[in-house]
């Protein structure tokens, strides 16, 4: 059995900036960024899993836990070779999304830090998601009612994860600033938490 990979979780509601920060941090040597959004969008729409994903996502709901973890395992096996050069620490963006998913992932990851991106302005996050969906040519993701439903599901099913992990692992980050200002806050908590995990380039 392989050892669990050191991991950092990017945590927060839809539209808070997890993907933006994950993409930036994933360029740091030793960090491997794994986005659940990229994972789900890579599924063949005509496959059974693809049809199920598009069915539940169009309602703003979560993909069933067992399917999510199965897809995550497959996605990681295809893209992550486990070498320190590629990434000695996995940066998870958008997964786990429930306490059950967190339990299912425990044999795979050793969570060293939970970066909780905080923004209490739901309207700002909804506007950000609509703008992004339109810009990326995904009009089905621009439905405001679906976006607000995703926020409700987040509060009901994903936010309780903050109580699942030890309080000492969770660091709150103000997500309302510019990407650079948010990144500065993240680096301040990330570097001490990963000291000794990342190899010099």
- State pLDDT tens for residues 11-30: 999 999 999 999 999 998 88
Residue 1 has pLDDT above 50, yes or no: no
pLDDT of 142 reads 82
Burial 4-39 (b: 16+ CB within 10 A, else e): ebbbbbbbbbbbbbbbbbbebbeebebbbbbbbebb
Over range 85-103, report the average pLDDT: 88
Residue 200 has pLDDT above 70, yes or no: no
Residue 155 has pLDDT above 60, yes or no: yes
Over range 62-84, report the average pLDDT: 84
CATH number of 5-192: 3.40.50.300
3-state SS, residue 125: helix
Of 4-18, 34-48, 107-121, 181-195, minimum mean pLDDT range: 34-48
pLDDT, mean over the chain:
88
pLDDT of 194 reads 87
Residue 201 has pLDDT above 60, yes or no: no
- Give the predicted TM-score (pTM) of the model: 0.87
CA dihedral 184, 187, 174, 57 (to 10 degrees): 120
Token pair of 27 as six digits: 């360029």
pLDDT of 85 reads 57
- State pLDDT tens for residues 117-145: 999 899 988 988 898 888 887 766 788 88
In SS3 terms, 28-79 reads as CCCEEEEEHHHHHHCCCCCCHHHHHHHHHHCCCCCCCHHHHHHHHHHHHHHH
pLDDT of 8 reads 96
pLDDT of 44 reads 85
pLDDT of 45 reads 81
Quick one: which of 192, 190, 173, 194 has its CA closest to 182? 173
């Amino acid at each position: 059995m392989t050892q669990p990979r050191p991991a950092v979780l990017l945590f927060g509601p839809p539209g808070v900036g997890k993907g933006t920060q994950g993409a930036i941090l994933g360029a740091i040597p030793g960090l491997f960024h794994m986005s659940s959004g990229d994972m789900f969008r890579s599924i063949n729409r005509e496959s059974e899993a693809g049809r199920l994903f598009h069915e539940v996502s169009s309602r703003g709901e979560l993909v069933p836990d067992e399917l999510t973890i199965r897809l995550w395992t497959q996605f990681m096996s295809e893209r992550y070779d486990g070498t320190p050069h590629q990434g000695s620490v996995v940066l998870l963006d958008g997964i786990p999304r429930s306490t059950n998913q967190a339990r299912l992932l425990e044999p795979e990851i050793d969570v060293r830090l939970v970066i909780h991106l905080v923004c209490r302005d739901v309207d700002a996050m909804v506007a950000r998601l609509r703008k992004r969906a339109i810009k990326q040519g995904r009009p089905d993701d621009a439905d405001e009612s679906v976006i607000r439903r995703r926020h409700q599901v987040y509060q009901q099913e994903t936010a309780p994860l903050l109580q699942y992990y030890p309080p000492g692992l969770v660091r709150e980050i103000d997500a309302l600033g510019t990407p650079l200002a948010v990144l500065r806050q993240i680096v301040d908590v990330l570097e001490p938490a990963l000291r000794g995990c990342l190899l010099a380039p």
